[in-house]
Structure 1
């Protein structure tokens, strides 16, 4: 629908959320605007303010990259759009938009197009395929001339004066071509070190061209002497487009929409004054996608700027004579600008300065009797105002400097000078408030000195109260301009005032409030509140004062006569070595061994236990050595078939696990649990696993077989069962192990095997925290774990050679690399990413670099990978 919402600078000509157009163009007469997207092509008549938009459905899976009307009156009804690899020439006639030509020659996505300024039949296009094609729409089957470059061309622009010159942008370089002189460029300009996003020829100088780049600059070159730029405009963000104004020496710039830096404004510059823009067009709620110029009618001196934004809003900006004059355009006397609440710019003689007069009038109308404020100095020549504000015990000396273009989009600069006694926090909040208010005023070409001074007094009054109650360090900043802020913490739990927690292995950390603050709390009968919102009420009822979180933790001693601030009380965090409270011992972990026959292992470990004074462990290792006995020649006659051996070792492991000696339990499991698990594995697999779970060709790992199996997966495989490791068992403490839950998951005869796996895993984690990585690896080798099965959606790559699905970088079928990078064309061996829409991909680093400056697929398939993928998940 069409909405007319006027203010002093612009009006909304269109707001249509379902249009989803990303390209815009205004015809040569300034009557019609074309909005093009994947779903619709739309035409809006700018002369008819209340006319509804005409939409024409477009059946295509590709977005429109660029759109442009024919600039000549002879073919003013023609417009062209680019869609992936083709150009569509459309005719607007009798309120109908029909396609008349389809130009196809590019092999990759088209990046830009441009009609010839004088020949109504000539059209230029460039593409990621490195070609620049010149078309004659009278012969649409093939280009009339094809120019080849090494790098892709991102922009193509016909010269506005010379009919034979065309410029193209290639990364940071510019090439100049002459269609009369073959297919080689006639000039080369090394313009930028970063990506060039836009080109624009001068409308008055044949050899001058400007380029906008990702390096935050706009450079102007004379192509007859291109070694260095004539001059440069520097902005605070990458520049998407920079285009000359149809009047004076003006230039309009806009930031790159793909980067979405939060800057939705357009800047108007005077090329002769390159230090700062003369005006800022503020109105869009999202990034500007495109803009163009429109002249209302023949002989009219007013121009209009048409802008289209990501918020699907079309704005029409009135470029009044005073803005034209700021760009060096000599016109008649400036029109009166009348505002109901502010006096802006009065009618001036031609030779008067348009910047001094508004400031002089503002100085003369300033109310110098604002409470708590004293105007020290007003210098109209130096354009400086000095004021002093005194509120309670706060004193601020402020200096405001007004630029030459004030108040037309450029705010004054504020500085706190010597003689002030405020801290950095108050200073920062004060300057933020003043800058915010000033920017709001000048964005509408309104003066801001007196409103800023009054707001300054109000802000200091509020901040002085905050300092008195010690709230400046606690409460979130409340914007005095918008009145926003306040507490929204009714459901935020109050931080703990004391606590104790075991951290790492054998470390106990304790914290609490200082002793004297606890006494104060007890005297006032203050209990720890449940939420932050209850803090103020609890304390205010007892002391008639304000209590903050910091004050609750670190209460200050205050005199009853007056509030005098003292130093903060320090809270102490105590860290204890609690390793002596546990049975696990680091020295034993370093001395224990697992390699060799069982008898040798038991003897060595018994000796290590004797050194640290653990007699009980000496007895256990001696008993284990006796149970093991001499090695039998027959492999079937192992210790597990001993009449008492199996039951005895199981009881011994259970005993130490019950006593929370996870170290001894795990060591016994590694040495004596292996053969037991292997002996019952075959029967367990047959009983407990269905054929669907047995993958053909799957190699089941047995404990001790692989010296490289050092990382345990999340699930424990016990006798064929996949036992889920409970979240509560992710600890080295056996107190968190729910044995009953594990026993319920498996038959009774297999429950012990699941517990053995947990003991090994827990002990391995303890060794890891101690930094004993070699010892940890030895324990992990005795675990019977399989890799965690994949759960959820799995993405496979079709091998580029045999077209068979491949999970890894090397195809299991043809043994070749399965994926080539679309950027560097090398085989992908490491980190890779692929688009889930078009399937193209490559190295993560290459794709990251490409999509940092582009939003479409490099292959030319037309897919906007980032946007389309995000849309798929959002839907």
Structure 2
């Protein structure tokens, strides 16, 4: 049986009126955030009795579902809470809590959120709407990545060691996603037979995952072979959360709050011995809502567990060394040989990673000596001898290094430099290290090279005691000499066609390139490492990548040219293309076919396009009546169809999508003027029309239309499904299975003709000829897509059924009642986007002239909340 002690905790806070539903402990372990519907509170854990609880009012009718602090050092002041369909990113600075971002994209309740473990700007959220969104708070208007699953998502967790992997829970299944590999899951795990409530990645293994569910079990999976669970931990009740301990092989579980009856404790397990819990935390008088581990200070022996309960009490639990040993953990005060034995026994991947970095370190850096590298103590000591004095630097690597956590730099005993230089060196090293570990990269060698380069730069100008060191120079020149040999240099020139008839070119000045060649330098560096050599030959100091491109050159005797080093040119290349904006603006599509062809021929002749004059002449000939036979016009001649197909194919191959699309539109429309019935003779000439069970020709139009009329869709002929977003890529064409091969054999290019019209419509949109674009889109044979945007529905006051219109489709009564006059709304109405209350526009306008709160009394600030929606 597990021991049931209640002497290891102390009450940090008890606030009956707080009614907080979510809790989170910040990265440094100093502050705890408690969030609820009415307010958000922050408590200083380092000064429990002295500093009072700080409360910040929050007006919302929705409870807070989840809360979490940013785990990185860079954005440690940020925290996020979820409330219904919205994420609120808050900033805790100088004793004040302010909202910095509001993230809205989910259409249903948000069920989980998780900050990225190393990137301070990345956040993941999941919702009942089946979507998982990855946000970058630097651009909070929309998610940077959208992942879609069939079932609703209940949990999302980033991998603690792999920055690109995240796991989500969907009912009883787990999906693993790699943000580098598109929007499809890379792995699927059938974990539980019932709903999964919790996910947690192991802090010590990249592939070890724990899931807790409604089936009263906690299962452990190795994602390299996830067909079956590695092990199963069985409890007596459904498990709400299961999280690994920061020490040993421990796991803490709590049962589902809705089903707990008298069980208000937390269970501590040893995952190597899953028969029974090794310890039970008893002290709360109601169910535990959330728990988190507090970051331990370097000299602390005990770990601390923070718990928040529905009884509105915050407890801090001291995990003494004896309890830690029950989970297989050896406290740090044990003998060094015991620690070595543990490291060898566990074969820690973190030790291997640091040992690999030590083995790859280039120890032949000029003026630097590596004194000691200790893998077990995770330290490295170096000495730099210079004219300024001796610098003895000790680098200490935390356990989480390099996953978002930089090492610590200390100028230790034996150094002879002054305090100001020591401060400058540590500040510079911290900057370089932070830039590396934020991308989960090791930083020892770059930091050591930066150390030597900074000292040399300080030697060159020792009189300036407040000198600011050029970090970019040393990163590009000195750091690149060892690691960046094969990294290509950014392009110095290029060209790209943009929009309609626009060519954008960028490059460097010819005079600058000639001046570089005359001085014996290459016109363009071959790699990043070559940039250092490029700058060393100049007399005006080092060169960074930024200055290589953007700084202006000076006129000297060696370089008589003056001007920008980089330039961007925009050309109008209309003469190079067959498409013409003048033609697009003056072509017509409405009216008689013969008149259309004659008019468009005259427009083409006015700008000297002889080839188009011939094309429109042939089109006029095909469409015009001939008197060769009494009951047959020339339009029914067997060559008419082939002629138009040849014309369209010719201009499409010449990239003249304008002419191809115009011919497709004109000869795919019904002609009202030449109204004649198809005779028996014509039916004999065209038996495929009868076999299809549908005439291509109605109301006098040509049966040789290159585009079949839209009503043939009902007979099963497929047309391309075009994506809603505008694009000129042929990948947008998806051909459906056709059920009339006899007709398709006569016109296999039907889908391409639809694409020509869509491409021409896109071109007209770029030319801002919107009216002409709409005319072309009218001739599209594909059915219009169902509207998938935002729609407002009203619940009928009589039958409670949702209605899109002012009159209920179910009970046929007016569905909206004014919240002010309580009468049915027949005319203009306005409703709040947040709370849904509204009524007559005039009544709502009069109300909000003097009031800010909703007239229903729901507490919503309708104008402010609606304005926030439109800001996004």
User: How high is the TM-score relative to the length of structure 1?
Assistant: 0.39
User: How high is the TM-score relative to the length of structure 2?
Assistant: 0.39
